[in-house]
Amino acid sequence: MKFDTLQQGITFYENYARVFDFNTRLSSTKKRKSDGKILLKYCVCSKEGFRETPRLHAECKKKRPITRMGCKARLTLKLINDQDNYVSFHEGHTHALTTPNSAHHNKLSRNLTLTHKKYIMDNSRANVRATKSYRLMKEHVGGYENMATSVTDFKNFQRDIRKHIRGKDAHMLIENFKRKQQMCSYFFFKYEVDDKQHLIRVFWEDAIGKKSYASFRDVVSFDTTFSMNEYCIVFAPFTGVDDSKSYVIFAGCAPL
């Protein structure tokens, strides 16, 4: 077989691996020094080669399972006459392939769709973690085999969202308060910034809090023992007690 481009050959082998239920990865690449054009590229089974010692996870320091088994299955793409790529194909695997019941866990079979991403973002606004979002969606679609993605994909996407908004979240908070004030004139907030325009403290009170304070202001508590893990800042709510001896929130304050 011949392919017009290198990517066509890579896509062909990925589709082949998807049908026969194994994962692939790109291995060694040989480039021409004069123009950087790729002369040789290997597409190998994900279990190709060996690792001398199991890798340690950066955070939990737990040993990761050994996934390399010296598999020889590969696809070799080589440039000929600066025009075409030809294929050298080795089919034999030195390990058992994925069973049909667990094929949906393969990397090539997983796909984080726009529906998944929208679901993760909506749940993130409600402070729902990626793991719980994954379990909830599993119940909606009728099982893990219908998810077409993994909990790690959910965690990675939620991590990317946080990385994207990092450094902008204070601005997003104030803009959100401004929108609330436009929708309801009883919503009140005030904030302060330092000489570098960094948010240092913010106070807010909505219409429900004002009404609760007007009705149950005999007892007012200002508690500064709460903290938020992301920036280790203090969250201080103004609370009171209603006629049923239940706590009600009057307002909130966050000194950064």
Per-residue confidence (pLDDT) for residue 180, from 0 to 100: 92
Is residue 12 domain-shared with residue 82, that is, in the same domain? yes
Per-residue confidence (pLDDT) for residue 55, from 0 to 100: 54
Q: Is residue 103 part of a domain?
A: no
Per-residue confidence (pLDDT) for residue 95, from 0 to 100: 63
Residue 58 has pLDDT above 60, yes or no: no
Q: Is residue 136 part of a domain?
A: yes
CB 91 within 8 A of CB 16: no
CB 87 within 8 A of CB 1: yes
What's CA 134's distance to the chain center, in Å? 11
Question: Which residue is associated with the tokens 């085999």?
Answer: 145
Residue 238 has pLDDT above 90, yes or no: yes
Is residue 147 domain-shared with residue 177, that is, in the same domain? no
> How far is residue 68's CA from residue 96's CA, in Å, rounded to a whole number?
13
Per-residue confidence (pLDDT) for residue 134, from 0 to 100: 86
Is residue 245 domain-shared with residue 199, that is, in the same domain? yes
Is residue 82 domain-shared with residue 128, that is, in the same domain? no
Contact residues for 221 (Cβ-Cβ < 8 A; gap 6+) = 238, 239, 240
Is residue 123 domain-shared with residue 80, that is, in the same domain? no
For the chain, give the mean pLDDT.
Answer: 80
Q: What is the mean pLDDT of residues 150-179?
A: 82
Can you read off the two tokens belonging to residue 41?
A: 């590229």
SS3 for 138-187 is HHHHCCHHHCCCCHHHHHHHHHHHHHHHCCCHHHHHHHHHHHHHHHCCCC
Is residue 127 domain-shared with residue 41, that is, in the same domain? no
Is residue 58 domain-shared with residue 142, that is, in the same domain? no
Q: Is residue 104 part of a domain?
A: no
Contact residues for 117 (Cβ-Cβ < 8 A; gap 6+) = 157
Of 98, 120, 149, which residue is a domain's last? Answer: 98
72: domain range? 2-98
Is residue 238 domain-shared with residue 175, that is, in the same domain? yes
pLDDT in tens, 16-33: 887 777 788 887 777 776
Q: Which three-class secondary structure state does DSSP give residue 30? A: strand
Of 145, 165, 185, which residue is a domain's last? Answer: 165
Local structure of residue 229 (DSSP, 8 states):
T
DSSP 41-81: EEEEETT-S--SSPPBPTTT-PBPPP-------EEEEEEET
Is residue 130 domain-shared with residue 48, that is, in the same domain? no
Q: Is residue 44 part of a domain?
A: yes
Is residue 79 domain-shared with residue 139, that is, in the same domain? no
Q: Which three-class secondary structure state does DSSP give residue 3? A: strand
Name the percent of the chain in helix, strand, coil, to the closest 5. 35, 25, 40
Per-residue confidence (pLDDT) for residue 14, from 0 to 100: 84
Contact residues for 215 (Cβ-Cβ < 8 A; gap 6+) = 242
Residue closest to 161 by CA, chosen among 200, 199, 201, 128: 128
Please state the domain count of the chain: 3
pLDDT in tens, 73-106: 888 888 777 665 656 666 776 666 666 555 555 6
> How far is residue 108's CA from residue 50's CA, in Å, rounded to a whole number?
21
Per-residue confidence (pLDDT) for residue 106, from 0 to 100: 63
This prediction's pTM: 0.46
Q: Is residue 234 part of a domain?
A: yes
Query: Beta partners for 153?
Result: none
Is residue 152 domain-shared with residue 178, that is, in the same domain? no
Q: Is residue 105 part of a domain?
A: no
Per-residue confidence (pLDDT) for residue 205, from 0 to 100: 95
Q: Which of the four pLDDT bands, split at 50, 70 and 90, describes residue 220? A: very high
Of 98, 124, 145, which residue is a domain's last? Answer: 98
Other beta carbons within 10 angstroms of residue 41's beta carbon come to 20
Is residue 88 domain-shared with residue 16, that is, in the same domain? yes
Q: Is residue 154 part of a domain?
A: yes
